[in-house]
Chains A and B, each alone.
Chain A
Amino acid sequence: MSNLVIVEHDNKELAVATLNAITAAQQIGGDIDLLVAGENCQSVADSAAQINGITTVKVADDAMFGHHMAENLALLIADVAKDYSHVLASATTFGKNIMPRASALLDVAQVSEIVEVKSADTFVRPIYAGNALATVQSSDVIKCITVRTIKFEAAEATGGSAAIEALSGGSDAGLSSWISQAVSGGDKVELTSAGIVVSGGRGMQNGDNFSLLQSVADKLGAAVGASRAAVDSGFVSNELQVGQTGKVIAPDLYIAVGISGAIQHLAGMKESKVIVAINNDSEAPIFQVSDYGLVADLFDAVPEFDAAL
């Protein structure tokens, strides 16, 4: 068996999510190679080579890969993947965008968002927003897989000394071009990697009130999240959304404020180690999954909680 893991990066730094996908590859077994495709991405290749247990880092450094456009990347992956039994990427928007396209070019099925490796050909994946877990066996020669990062520990980022191999060629499909990226947040704690997350729902009433949560988050070194209801109501921007259609996270502590606990929200946070719910409706479904519930008006409870920290 031989694994190829597609490295996610911004041409400067390797994304932590890739380390989780590498752990899934370790559980499958066999050699692990990495593919770094980007533009002026040598620093990423260098850090990839230091990850423990990697045999070879293959690097395609070309302007056509600079913004990770799916058409070009999928052509490259499909070409490189022919020498491997397993191709893996993290189930981030990066992996979800490119991997199915590469799978189709290889004429193989993709196994999406695995949460467990049973054997080299059998995996567990959530369906129906995590309300069911399916164990699936793949009969394809090349198995294309995306990995739900929260279910796999990060591989050791140091201790390795993989060979770096430059790939030449590649073809520019010329089908799409990158225009811009709007990244919000600045120096705020990133939602997907935060140890503590404080999330607000419709009960927050407006976007300004999220400053109450930000104040708590600042004291705890936490990230701020939101339910889909809060995002759809225009309180906060979409990248804060926790849920089946937003981010799936598993922090050590998740504090849900003014969130009722719709199925689709629970799918995004129910793997958290400790869940706290603050809601004035004692019947809210969020209390069925919370370790500690406080039935109270959030506009009283949150400032008091903040003051007690």
Chain B
Amino acid sequence: MKVLVCVKRVLDPQVKARVKSDGSGVDLANAKMTMNPFCENALEEALRLREAGSADEVVVVSIGGGKTAETLRHGLAMGADRAINVTTEEALEPLAIARVLKHIVDQELPGLVLAGKQAIDGDSNQTAQMLSAMLGWSQSTFISEFKLEGDTATTTREVDAGLETISVKMPAVVSVDLRLNEPRYVKLPDVMKAKRKPMDVIELDSLGLDTANRLTVLEVVEPEGRVAGVIVANVAELVDKLRNEAKVI
């Protein structure tokens, strides 16, 4: 079985997003970028499936501009067999991303598509569900456990009330949560090896897909921050403040 893993290049989660003064968006110039953390979990799971003999090839795909290739190289260094880089300078919305991914799935015919549950920049949490709908495949979202059993998979989903276990028919599109696994560290020899692994570069425009955006971003602003309050001297003062000043207990 071939596993296709969708990955996104995002602002490093340890870096605080800074809004541009003209309100046009978040300033990414010279910012440290990395693979979206949830995507790393998705790739890790695919690699473990290959190591367990359930998958024979792991392909990473990404859609983006200039340096997306770096993120795909990181995926190859983690252990993916090859990469597909769909290049565009446009910032596509999840619906368009899903359409491009569907095209790739139609070409590659994987038995499983893994993706992160959301990208930590747009926080949309849409792409996997949309891709699954377009393919007419089964879906399982926000999973923390994945067990392949022939032509079905048993998945445990992290839902508001706790954990939900469902069975999905393969092929499936599965979006993953952080507790699914601990992504491996990349070692230097892996980085060297990754340089020789194949990466297909496809220009988005050459695919002839409708990837027009449906949403217009009118403005991006910083939220009103909280102002630090007071430091109390002891528990007695804290209880007094909560009772008589804030009146919340």
Contact = CB atoms under 8 A, between A and B. Distances in A.
Do chains A and B interact in one complex?
A: yes
Given A93-B160, A181-B161, A132 B229 contact: no
B94 interface: yes
A290 B228 contact: yes
A166 interface: no
B129 A101 contact: yes
Contacts of A100: 94, 124-130, 133
A299 interface: no
A291 B232 CA distance: 10
Given A94-B160, A127-B26, A178-B164, A135 B218 contact: yes
Contacts of B16: 131, 263
B68 interface: no
A294 B231 contact: yes
Contact of A289 (B17, B141, B162, B226): B226
Contacts of A135: 217-221
A63 interface: no
Provide the main secondary structure of the chain A interface.
mixed
B138 A253 contact: no
Interface string A293-309: 11110000100110011
The size class of the interface chain A forms with chain B is 35 or more
A248 to B, nearest CB: 11
A93 B142 contact: yes
Interface in B36-80: none
Contacts of A140: 214
Contacts of A102: 133
B238 interface: yes
Contacts of B124: 100, 110, 112
Interface in B157-193: 157-169, 177-179
A96 B94 CA distance: 13
Nearest to A264: B13
Given A93-B159, A96-B141, A289-B226, A109 B95 contact: yes
Contacts of A270: 226
B144 interface: yes
17 contacts: A96-B142, A97-B142, A100-B133, A105-B133, A110-B94, A112-B126, A129-B123, A131-B16, A134-B217, A174-B169, A176-B166, A176-B167, A183-B161, A232-B178, A239-B161, A292-B238, A292-B246
Given A127-B121, A129-B123, A291-B246, 4 more contacts: A112-B124, A126-B223, A139-B215, A287-B228
